[in-house]
């Protein structure tokens, strides 16, 4: 079953090749893709069209405002919106920080298309939940694991 069919995915990455590749891969799976080249554009787009996006995929290295800060801001605005962080620096402390700031998953680049699609489908099929007081981390975000 293709959980990406008719899903609306926002991709935030300043690398044109990554944006093009992710756009093609996800569009081929039936998703509608919107791209942002920096975190400010992504946050503004979500503020205006929050109900039009089902999932966010973001790189952690973005100009002006980091992907980690963007994850935190999005999670504060839309706590049930799934967010997948992509990073070339996949140390466990970086992955833990992504999850603590509100990401649903953190994947290390380079990533195989099959691995990305599996993570997207798993995150989209998970039931969204509101943060509970016991689940709040020191930065005020919910900790969710795959």
Percentage of residues of the chain with pLDDT beyond 90:
66
Give domain status of residue 1, yes or no.
no
Q: Residues 33-47: pLDDT tens digits?
A: 999 999 999 999 999
Identify the H or E element spanning 12.
strand 8-12
Tell me, what CATH number does 83's domain have? 3.40.50.2300
Phi-psi region of 30 (alpha: psi -120 to 50; beta: other; left: phi over 0): left
**Has residue 142 been placed in a domain?**
no
Domain count along the chain: 1
- For residue 53, the enclosing domain spans 8-135
Domain assignment of residue 141, yes or no:
no
pLDDT score of 90: 64
* Residue 11 CB contacts under 8 Å (≥ 6 apart), including other chains: 19, 22, 23, 26, 33, 34, 35, 36, 56, 57, 58
Q: What angle, 0 to 180 degrees and rounded to 10, lies between the N-to-C axes of helices 39-49 and 67-77?
A: 10
Q: Give every CB contact of residue 127 below 8 A, 6+ residues apart in sequence.
A: none
Q: Is 146 a member of any domain?
A: no
Does residue 146 carry a pLDDT above 90?
Answer: no
Residue 22 domain flag: yes
**What's the pTM value of the predicted model, to 2 decimals?**
0.83
Is the pLDDT at 137 greater than 50, yes or no? no
Helix (H) or strand (E) holding 85, with range, is strand 83-87
The model's pLDDT over 59-106, given as tens digits with 9 standing for 90+, comes to 999 988 899 999 999 999 999 999 999 988 767 888 899 999 999 999
In a domain, 101, yes or no: yes
Specify if 2 maps to a domain. Answer: no
């Amino acid at each position: 079953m293709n959980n990406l069919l008719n899903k609306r995915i926002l991709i935030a990455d300043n690398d044109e090749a990554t944006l093009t590749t992710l756009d093609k891969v996800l569009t081929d799976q039936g998703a509608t893709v919107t791209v942002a080249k920096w975190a400010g554009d992504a946050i503004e787009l979500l503020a205006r069209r929050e109900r039009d996006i089902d999932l966010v995929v973001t790189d952690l290295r973005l100009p002006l405002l980091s992907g980690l800060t963007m994850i935190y801001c999005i999670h504060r605005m839309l706590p049930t919106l799934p967010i997948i962080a992509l990073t070339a620096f996949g140390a466990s402390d970086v992955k833990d920080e992504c999850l603590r700031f509100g990401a649903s998953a953190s994947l290390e680049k380079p990533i195989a298309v099959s691995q990305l699609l599996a993570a997207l489908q798993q995150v989209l099929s998970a039931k969204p939940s509101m943060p509970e007081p016991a689940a709040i981390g020191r930065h005020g975000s919910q900790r969710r694991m795959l």
